[in-house]
Structure 1
């Protein structure tokens, strides 16, 4: 007697009831799957993008906004800071290294970031094609930018003022692609990198063509006698004591602001954690309701099948086999619901990534599978077992003589 096949036949015999229970369980598991995938990938990505950056220094404003805009490039900068003051801060003995950033423009929604070659070393990038920028208006493209915009070496484009939404084009100077980076799974995949001088000259009304053909600064700050600005500084401490003294010194004794990426991101996840917990709670409630639905369906069907169970006992089935037969129905229901739920969860995340080609969601992947998803399947099977116990026990107690007499 093939109990698995028999259990499957009973489930197929009531497709609407079976389908509703599977779908209800799948929806609950799909919600939890999406949350797990997004939370895990966001945390890994943010930790990866902040490696080597102990402090961000920029204009006064929201510390979280400063970190998000300068490290993760998913928010608007808090403003610009004076170059001379930035250089003064960088000379502090508690600072080991500084990487300046200049922002404010974009091309087709992708940010144009002015910096130096230290930024490439920070993220340990490798070139798929070409080389780093050497003179103003040469750019290096992140892998995702080159792929989405279909740009190659030697191609030119015009940047637009603003971040995310353009107000007008800077059509006085074309950017020239000199390098394309390998895909790293980090923030640089979504950036267009160039020199700080390029950002400055783009916004100049008067143009000194001789200056614009000079080699740019490959490390540190560009040398200039003019009053210039940068957007922010990425700082690495020289020793552990700097973590205590340097942020306090910058925030209290200068017009600048210092923000710790690790602290701000921890605070962000703490704030988001409340909402995630509430959604997970809702998903668990849906799963519990699904479990009750499976219990009610099996319990009610058992009343209709008492004669069938008695016949099975009469032709040689043991009490244990009847118990296992009903238990298998609940396990099959929840197993199918778990598989469907995981599939819906990954498919929904894929739709999000496709519809948001830029920004934080664009770096997520629906092809990632976590060990927690296996735990979800086991949890679903546990729900099926618990929901089936009482109906299975009633089947175990089936009285052959009484049922056949009726």
Structure 2
């Protein structure tokens, strides 16, 4: 019988102690893994969705809220800004590009975003079926939105005012689905996209141009800004925000200060605000991670105590092994293997529990798709967590293994 089989059989002979040690180890590993999966996926998705956006300009309020609402679409907008004022910012020589956004409506919880084709290009979106919008009240659906809403090209629906499911519908104007985007893991997956004129059509413009829009809807009125740039509107027309990309690094120095000090608008940097958000969240994450490491250390102590106490009852067995030809080194390795097996099982079980718990949390949270978290994702850090658990097992079994190594055959057999 080899040492691994011998160690495994001894572990099985102590089922309660073994189960307790494995459970403690797996709980610590699971907590750490959930934190790693959550923070890693959030950081990756936040970085991906802010790529190409140097500055967000919108109504005054909370800078973080401005970013969350207009970049990640997980908060309410701070308000609207005048179209003409927003356009004046784009004429600054430090602005390379500016993408307008008009928010305020939803369909069954999925946000309807008025914008132009540059917004789709920003996230490298591609059409899966149908085509990109060109006419007023035509929409393109993100992949998740199309699946969850069970909509396809050719379907029509009425949007609802506001950003919650319970808001009142705009029964005067229906949207027409003309395209569905490929899933690409960006915010596009969870949005309903159209031009800005369509958002105006179901709000302020429906009273002012009622006859015009009824006729235009039948004739498929072409949007004025369906490809790029800003729409042509009246002096009272508004948008929610602009996504700006700088022409040079000097823009980061001058533009936010200029906009915040000299206009009725607010400028916020996605890079700065997301970093600030993670610094705030990091305190709680670090505390939970420290708690998980404490659990792993307790598991290691439990393994050490159980093995150390068990060694007293095994002195005779170890002495017999020595008398049958087993070397001191084999006894040392035999005890070490026991600790490694227990911690390996605890680590593997912890990884399974961690992924299962993460997936359960993601499924229980309605907006997990928007946030971009899942338990079915594997990260490199899992390997290091498993190594940590193995290290704890080695350390916990080291002293019992040394005691086994020092076993005095003649003394133990004489006592028996």
Q: Residues 315-326 of structure 1: matches in 2 within 5 Å?
A: 315-326=324-335
Aligned 8 A contact 2:141 2:191 in 1: yes
The 3-state SS of whatever aligns with 2:169 is coil
**Structure 1 residue 99, shift from structure 2 partner:** 0.6
For the pair 1:285 / 2:294, whether they are aligned, the reply is yes
Q: What per-residue deviation string (whole Å, max 9, x for no partner) do you get for residues 250-297 of structure 1? A: 000000000011111111111111111111110110000000000001
Match in the other structure for 2:401? 392
Residues 361 and 338 of structure 1, relative CA distance in 2, 3 Å threshold = farther
Q: How many Å separate the matches in 2 of 1:203 and 1:16?
A: 67
For the pair 1:331 / 2:340, whether they are aligned, the reply is yes
Q: How many Å separate the matches in 2 of 1:211 and 1:65?
A: 36
**Structure 1 residue 77, shift from structure 2 partner:** 0.5
Q: How many Å separate the matches in 1 of 2:163 and 2:91?
A: 30
**Structure 1 residue 311, shift from structure 2 partner:** 1.3
For the pair 1:42 / 2:42, whether they are aligned, the reply is yes
Match in the other structure for 2:258? 249
Match in the other structure for 2:174? 174
The 3-state SS of whatever aligns with 2:71 is helix
Q: How many Å separate the matches in 1 of 2:370 and 2:7?
A: 42
Tell me the TM-score normalised to structure 1 length: 0.97
**Structure 1 residue 239, shift from structure 2 partner:** 1.6
Match in the other structure for 1:125? 125
For the pair 1:355 / 2:343, whether they are aligned, the reply is no
From 350, 354, 367, the counterpart of 1:341: 350
Stretch of structure 1 that moved more, 235-244 or 324-333: 235-244
Q: How many Å separate the matches in 2 of 1:32 and 1:111?
A: 34
The 3-state SS of whatever aligns with 2:412 is helix
Match in the other structure for 2:9? 9
Q: What per-residue deviation string (whole Å, max 9, x for no partner) do you get for residues 358-392 of structure 1? A: 25665223232222111111111110000001111
Match in the other structure for 1:215? 222
**Structure 1 residue 314, shift from structure 2 partner:** 1.5
Q: What per-residue deviation string (whole Å, max 9, x for no partner) do you get for residues 78-127 of structure 1? A: 00111111112222221111111011111111111110111011111111
Match in the other structure for 1:266? 275
Aligned 8 A contact 2:107 2:165 in 1: no
For the pair 1:103 / 2:103, whether they are aligned, the reply is yes
Match in the other structure for 2:285? 276
Equivalent pairs, count: 406
Q: Residues 31-180 of structure 1: matches in 2 within 5 Å?
A: 31-180=31-180
Aligned 8 A contact 2:368 2:374 in 1: no
Q: What per-residue deviation string (whole Å, max 9, x for no partner) do you get for residues 151-173 of structure 1? A: 11111122111113432111222
**Structure 1 residue 226, shift from structure 2 partner:** 5.3
**Structure 1 residue 210, shift from structure 2 partner:** 3.5
Q: How many Å separate the matches in 1 of 2:189 and 2:58?
A: 23
The 3-state SS of whatever aligns with 1:174 is strand
The 3-state SS of whatever aligns with 1:172 is strand
Stretch of structure 1 that moved more, 364-373 or 293-302: 364-373
Q: How many Å separate the matches in 1 of 2:47 and 2:371?
A: 17
Stretch of structure 1 that moved more, 148-157 or 260-269: 148-157
**Structure 1 residue 353, shift from structure 2 partner:** 2.0
Aligned 8 A contact 1:109 1:163 in 2: yes
Q: How many Å separate the matches in 2 of 1:330 and 1:32?
A: 21
Q: What per-residue deviation string (whole Å, max 9, x for no partner) do you get for residues 319-358 of structure 1? A: 1111111110100000001101111111111112222242
Match in the other structure for 2:307? 298
Aligned 8 A contact 1:74 1:360 in 2: no
Q: How many Å separate the matches in 2 of 1:211 and 1:128?
A: 28
Q: How many Å separate the matches in 2 of 1:203 and 1:324?
A: 76
Runs of 4+ in structure 1 displaced over 4 angstroms?
A: 359-362
Aligned 8 A contact 1:354 1:362 in 2: no
Q: How many Å separate the matches in 2 of 1:167 and 1:120?
A: 27
The 3-state SS of whatever aligns with 1:291 is helix
Q: How many Å separate the matches in 1 of 2:222 and 2:361?
A: 42
Residues 210 and 372 of structure 1, relative CA distance in 2, 3 Å threshold = same
CA RMSD, 1 decimal: 1.4
Match in the other structure for 1:312? 321
